[in-house]
Amino acid sequence: KIAQESATARKRWKLAKELVLRKLNVRTERFRRAYSQIDKERALQLDKDKLTLSGIVSRAAENRPQRPMLEVAFKGLTLSIGKKKLLQCVTGKLSPGRITAIMGPSGAGKTTFLNAVLGKTSGYKKDGLVLVNGKSGSMQSYKKIIGFVPQDDIVHGNLTVEENLWFSGCCRLSKSMSKADKVLILERVIGSLGLQEIRNSLVGTVEKRGISGGQRKRVNVGIEMVMEPSLLILDEPTTGLDSASSQQLLRALRHEASQGVNVCAVIHQPSYTLFNMFDDFVLLARGGLIAYHGPISEVENYFSGLGIKVPDRENPPDYYIDILEGIAKTKMRGHATPKHLPLLWILHNGYEVPEDMQKDLEEINMMHELYTVGSITRELSSVEQTKSKDSVHQNVSQRNDLLNRKTPGVLAQYRYYLGRVAKQRLREATQQAVDYLILCIAGICIGTITKVNDDTLGAASYGYTIIAVSLLCQLAALRSFSPERLQYWRERESGMSSVAYFLARDTIDHFNTVVKPIVFLSTFYFFNNPRSTLRDNYLVLLALVYCVTGIGYTLAIWFELGLAQL
Ligand SMILES: Nc1ncnc2c1ncn2[C@@H]1O[C@H](COP(=O)(O)OP(=O)(O)O)[C@@H](O)[C@H]1O
Ligand SMILES: [Mg+2]
């Protein structure tokens, strides 16, 4: 009751609740150590100031080791498919320790831009350069320290929140890291994403509801945060979240950035507060053209220099997108129209004007004053740039070994996978029981309708047995891989081992291969009473189930679930 009235009491009540939750949770010495470390960190932070944004940023100076830094720069990057250009003349860079917001109308090429950052450009025709830490090289070779949060929540529904995060951390953190440190990282992520209260709840699926949509979204982000990435890329992480959850998520991202992580997120319609929590802003116009790429603090300056003033009670980013889309009308300086914005940005920075824009250039040629708007900020920022560049490159040369992180090998991952798959299987126990029940019933039916006599020696009963057991085991084998395709792809993209995954699933399924013939024979042998021995029957059926499971795997891996069943 008191907590409802006073803010400090509320804070204390929250802390007390958390402590109780933890008491239930402290299982091992490691967790206790992690908690005491986190408490120390929190006390330090409270000392510094009362949970303001600048307070979180200032914590960067703490003694915690910084991550290796990854800077991504583009020079005249153009991606196209056939004649269609998806990204054009992208020049700029994403710096470590900063959060970049990418915005633009839908279909502008934001996801394509992220793919370019990730180095997934294999399907496109590519011009221009992508530089990583000042060197041209493939982003894919840094895959183990890049976290990509996909737009859809691809999480394991039948694992708890904590298990989801823990698994990702185990398989993707450096193998030389001690378990205690991994626990500490896990606890930090759970704390900063506010998942403490639901850490032991099953995530759930569309059919079987678990945690709420917003919470699931945060788990989706957490999966990438626990592997301590140097570059964190998020596709619409705040879509569908309420304002409070979005801010919490951004605070967690800010915290990451304070450790030198390069964060880059596509967002839609951020609130004004949320927008100001970002450092840099990339505005994409249709056709993958950059209309602005620079610090948030200078956006309004730049656009007002072009004669675009944000009206009162309008959110700047939304207004700029409306202008780009031609929904909001404004009078710009000179003869420029909104469609010239990308060109103006190119001129502003003194980049080379591509050929197909030369015509537009003539239209707006009279506005010389625009170029001078740019040159001032450019000079300023070039000083800053060299400064930050130096620090980045210094950092890189010191920690080059950290850039190629050694994650656990196939064997270690196999162990982690084995534990996970076993857990998942136990939670699907009813499904398993139903499978066995159907086999029993099939055994009874086939056993009673076919008769063993001297002429046929019971050939018909074996014919039916092969059909029934093959079909039933095949369907079960399909279920082994198909429903987890998306999760599998996500894990594979992030550098986890496919071999370990397959072997772990296969190992657990061997239990079924051994048990299923017994289940079937337990009724069939009794009702049919064939002349061959039980042992021979078992061995033949075991071979059958083994083969059929293999075929089931192949089909499940190559085809969609529906097609595979067919
Ligand atoms: N693989 C592709 N083949 C053809 N067109 C594509 C491909 N990927 C994206 N596009 C097109 O590029 C444009 C930008 O797409 P996208 O980057 O997904 O936009 P958004 O900004 O909404 O994320 C869209 O018009 C889309 O149709
Ligand atoms: Mg998109």
User: pLDDT: is 46 or 149 the higher one?
Assistant: 149
Co-location of 327 and 475 in the same domain: no
Co-location of 430 and 293 in the same domain: no
Of all protein residues, the one whose alpha carbon is nearest to atom 2 of ligand 1 is: 81
- Band (pLDDT 50/70/90 cuts) for residue 46 is low
381 occurs within a structural domain: no
pLDDT of amino acid 386: 53
60 occurs within a structural domain: no
Co-location of 46 and 86 in the same domain: no
User: pLDDT: is 474 or 50 the higher one?
Assistant: 474
pLDDT of amino acid 283: 93
Show the tokens assigned to 523.
């009724």
**CATH code (residue 76):** 3.40.50.300
239 lines ligand 1 (CB under 6 A): no
81 lines ligand 1 (CB under 6 A): yes
User: pLDDT: is 517 or 482 the higher one?
Assistant: 517
Alpha-carbon torsion angle 343, 349, 353, 359, nearest 10:
30
pLDDT of amino acid 142: 86
106 lines ligand 1 (CB under 6 A): yes
404 occurs within a structural domain: no
The burial class, CB within 10 Å (0-12 / 13-18 / 19+), for 357 is middle
Give the highest mean pLDDT range of 337-351, 353-367, 392-406.
Answer: 337-351
- Band (pLDDT 50/70/90 cuts) for residue 377 is very low
Q: How far is the CA of 110 from the centre of ligand 2 (A)?
A: 6
pLDDT of amino acid 307: 83
Co-location of 47 and 88 in the same domain: no
Residue among 78, 83, 111 to mutate when testing ligand 1 (max atoms within 8 A of CB): 111
Residue 543 predicted with pLDDT over 90: yes
Co-location of 167 and 226 in the same domain: yes
pLDDT, averaged across the chain? 83
Return all residues near 221 (Cβ < 8 A) that are at least 6 apart.
149, 193, 234, 237, 249, 252
379 occurs within a structural domain: no
- Band (pLDDT 50/70/90 cuts) for residue 372 is very low
pLDDT of amino acid 261: 92
Rounded distance between C-alpha atoms, residue 95 and residue 93, angstroms: 6
Rounded distance between C-alpha atoms, residue 93 and residue 75, angstroms: 9
The average pLDDT across 483-496 equals: 88
Of all protein residues, the one whose alpha carbon is nearest to atom 18 of ligand 1 is: 111
The average pLDDT across 6-35 equals: 76
User: pLDDT: is 388 or 167 the higher one?
Assistant: 167
Rounded distance between C-alpha atoms, residue 258 and residue 59, angstroms: 7
- Band (pLDDT 50/70/90 cuts) for residue 417 is very high
The average pLDDT across 483-492 equals: 89
Co-location of 43 and 104 in the same domain: no
Q: How far is the CA of 78 from the centre of ligand 1 (A)?
A: 14
342 occurs within a structural domain: yes
Bridging pattern class, strands 231-235 and 84-94: unpaired
Of all protein residues, the one whose alpha carbon is nearest to atom 16 of ligand 1 is: 109
User: pLDDT: is 469 or 353 the higher one?
Assistant: 469
The tens digit of pLDDT for each residue in 271-309 reads 989 999 999 999 999 888 999 999 999 988 888 888 888
Rounded distance between C-alpha atoms, residue 252 and residue 269, angstroms: 19
Residue 56 predicted with pLDDT over 60: no
Residue 366 predicted with pLDDT over 90: no
Of all protein residues, the one whose alpha carbon is nearest to atom 12 of ligand 1 is: 86
Q: How many domains does the chain have?
A: 3
The burial class, CB within 10 Å (0-12 / 13-18 / 19+), for 59 is middle
| Terminal-to-terminal C-alpha distance of the chain | 61
Residue 480 predicted with pLDDT over 90: no
112 lines ligand 1 (CB under 6 A): yes
- Band (pLDDT 50/70/90 cuts) for residue 390 is low
Q: Which ligand is nearest to the CA of 110?
A: 1
Alpha carbon 358 to chain centroid, angstroms: 40
pLDDT of amino acid 392: 52
pLDDT of amino acid 139: 80
Return all residues near 482 (Cβ < 8 A) that are at least 6 apart.
556, 560, 561, 564
396 occurs within a structural domain: no
Residue 55 predicted with pLDDT over 80: no
pLDDT of amino acid 311: 86
Point out the domain boundary residue: 334, 363, 392. Answer: 363
pLDDT of amino acid 500: 94
Point out the domain boundary residue: 307, 337, 363. Answer: 363
pLDDT of amino acid 53: 54
109 lines ligand 1 (CB under 6 A): yes
pLDDT of amino acid 375: 44
Point out the domain boundary residue: 324, 339, 363. Answer: 363
404-443 exposure pattern, b = at least 16 Cβ within 10 A, e = fewer? ebebbeeeebbebbbebbeebbeeeeeeeeebbebbeebb
The tens digit of pLDDT for each residue in 80-128 reads 988 888 988 888 899 999 999 999 998 899 999 998 888 888 888 888 8
Co-location of 182 and 213 in the same domain: yes
| Residue pair 283/104 in contact by the 8 Å Cβ criterion | yes
Q: How far is the CA of 237 from the centre of ligand 1 (A)?
A: 19
Residue among 77, 81, 84, 112 to mutate when testing ligand 1 (max atoms within 8 A of CB): 112
Q: Which ligand is nearest to the CA of 236?
A: 2
pLDDT of amino acid 24: 67
Co-location of 264 and 162 in the same domain: yes
Residue 427 predicted with pLDDT over 50: yes
The tens digit of pLDDT for each residue in 214-263 reads 889 999 999 999 999 999 999 999 988 888 889 999 999 999 998 889 99
Of all protein residues, the one whose alpha carbon is nearest to atom 5 of ligand 1 is: 81
Co-location of 441 and 488 in the same domain: yes
437 lines ligand 1 (CB under 6 A): no
The average pLDDT across 14-28 equals: 73
pLDDT of amino acid 536: 92
- Band (pLDDT 50/70/90 cuts) for residue 36 is confident
The average pLDDT across 162-184 equals: 91
DSSP state, 334? T
- Band (pLDDT 50/70/90 cuts) for residue 376 is very low
* DSSP sequence for 25-63: H--SHHHHHHHHHHHHHHHHHHHH-SS-HHHHHHGGGSS
Q: How far is the CA of 354 from the centre of ligand 1 (A)?
A: 21
28 occurs within a structural domain: yes
Task: Quote the percentage of the chain above a pLDDT of 90.
Answer: 35
User: Residue 237 sits in which domain range?
Assistant: 72-363
Q: Which atom of ligand 1 is nearest to the CA of 105?
A: 21
276 occurs within a structural domain: yes
| Residue pair 325/111 in contact by the 8 Å Cβ criterion | no
Co-location of 350 and 270 in the same domain: yes
Co-location of 192 and 316 in the same domain: yes
Co-location of 417 and 347 in the same domain: no
